[in-house]
Amino acid sequence: MPTAYLLLGSNLGNRTEYLRTAVQHLQETAGTVEAVSSLYETAAWGLTSQPAFLNQAVRLRTLLTPAQLLATCLAIEQRAGRERHVRWDARTLDVDILLYGDQVLDTPALQVPHPRLPERRFALVPLFEIAPEAVHPQLQCTVAELLVACPDSLAVERVG
């Protein structure tokens, strides 16, 4: 069964509850949640004039294909009231596929590994907590190596 690594994020409403509920829905609909990182808070990336985000990484064993997993993640976001208006806008819930086994996909709907993973500390720090030795299949670097080389200086603070 393939292992996927996801990043959950929320910066609207009860952020902690949105993340907790997302993990529960992933367990119910996508596979077996094997590990969940601590919660990390960071300032918004991209559109910076919005509330801070809580982020959390999840290790998921799944029989879903990457496309099926994406559809499941989008459904979980929608269930949480996610609205898409502007790229990188504030949101109740964001569920991104960071890695899916050793697969590399580049379609209009889905890119795996996540194309901006190496440049985002808010994704790498929680992922490092649960999978420091996971390998980025294109760059052939571990998550630990990506974190050391990450150019992003945005503070990522563990909050729970």
- Topology (CATH level 3) of domain 3-158: Alpha-Beta Plaits (3.30.70)
Confidence grade of residue 79 (pLDDT, cut at 50, 70, 90): confident
Question: How much of the chain is in helix, strand and coil states, percent to nearest 5?
Answer: 30, 25, 40
Q: Residue 141: what pLDDT? A: 97
| pLDDT tens-digit series, residues 8-18 | 999 999 999 99
pLDDT of residue 46: 72
Q: So what's the pLDDT on residue 90?
A: 73
Q: How confident is the model at residue 82 (pLDDT cuts 50, 70, 90)?
A: low
Q: Kindly tell me if the per-residue pLDDT of 87 is higher than 90.
A: no
- pLDDT at position 85 is 63
| pLDDT, mean of residues 86-110 | 88
φ/ψ (deg, to 5) at 125: -65, -50
Q: pTM here?
A: 0.94
Partners of 36 in the β-ladder:
58
Strands (E), the chain: 3-10, 32-36, 40-42, 53-61, 94-100, 105-106, 111-112, 135-136, 141-142, 156-158
Q: How big is the chain by its Cα radius of gyration, in Å?
A: 14
Predicted confidence at residue 84, as pLDDT, reads 64
Helix (H) or strand (E) holding 86: none
Active site residues: 82, 91, 94, 96
